[in-house]
A = this chain, B = another copy of it.
Amino acid sequence: MNQELMQMMRGTPLLSALNEAELRRLAEVSRRRKLSRKEALFLEGDPVDGFYLVLAGAVRLFKISADGSELTLHIAQRGQTFAEAAMFTPRGFPANAEAVDAAEVLFLPREEFVAMLRDGDELCLRLFRDLAIWIRRLTDIIFSLAFRDVESRLISYLIQQFRDESGRLSNGQELHLDVEKSLLASYLGTTPETFSRVLRKLQDNGLLNVDGPRLTVIDAEALHEIVELDE
């Protein structure tokens, strides 16, 4: 049996509730799948036979509009699970999934997993927490889209990604964007053009230095003020 796989599974909040035997059983029926950059994993509406764990790389979950524009809901990183909730809806996946860069995922079949839900109440509680976190995440996105402008959303993202122990950015700090700017734009619910312009504006106003994917914080205080204005 694959030791590294078991290790990864144990590392997730959800699956760590399983005992050794269950973990091994689940590992046996799971399937690995390699994805190339931008390769689709599933589409919105596809029937759901199980959920996924990211083994390597990252997977993007996104909605797509009739005219083709996209909004990224979440980027699942190595060690994270996704599509757990979809297993319990009759209407298939509520979003699309594709690899950000080359990636590998582990597919965990619904049937075996649900069987384990039936005997372990700890596993149930973990899954409830998982789903509740999703609900939180989605309500946060709704709040952002409804009440905040792109500038505020962008700065929020930076703070969230790069904050120190105090939960804040500090002057001189280097922020290296590890994802494409256009992907980030989609995550912020805007276009690459607007994203670029907002970065530019922050630079012109002396809050941030921009050098390709390398950002340098110039005026952390001002940045924090902008997001705190709309909570």
Contact = CB atoms under 8 A, between A and B. Distances in A.
A142 B189 CA distance: 10
Interface string A123-160: 01101110111111011111101111000000000000
A10 interface: no
Interface stretch (A33-41, A59-67, A197-205, A210-218): A59-67
A106 interface: no
Contacts of A119: 121
A73 B142 contact: yes
A42 interface: no
Contact of A146 (B85, B143, B145): B145
A7 B33 CA distance: 49
A230 B136 CA distance: 26
30 contacts: A63-B143, A63-B146, A65-B143, A65-B146, A65-B147, A65-B230, A66-B147, A67-B230, A71-B142, A71-B146, A85-B131, A85-B135, A87-B132, A88-B129, A91-B136, A94-B135, A94-B136, A94-B139, A114-B125, A117-B121, A117-B128, A118-B121, A127-B128, A131-B132, A131-B135, A134-B135, A135-B135, A135-B138, A138-B138, A145-B146
A42 B129 CA distance: 21
Contacts of A114: 125
Interface of A: 63, 65-67, 69, 71, 73, 85-89, 91, 94-95, 114, 117-119, 121, 124-125, 127-129, 131-136, 138-143, 145-148, 189, 229-231
Given A88-B128, A127-B128, A146-B189, A63 B135 contact: no
B95 A139 contact: yes
Contacts of A66: 147, 229-231
Contacts of A95: 139
A129 B117 CA distance: 13
Given A71-B147, A128-B88, A128-B127, A65 B135 contact: no
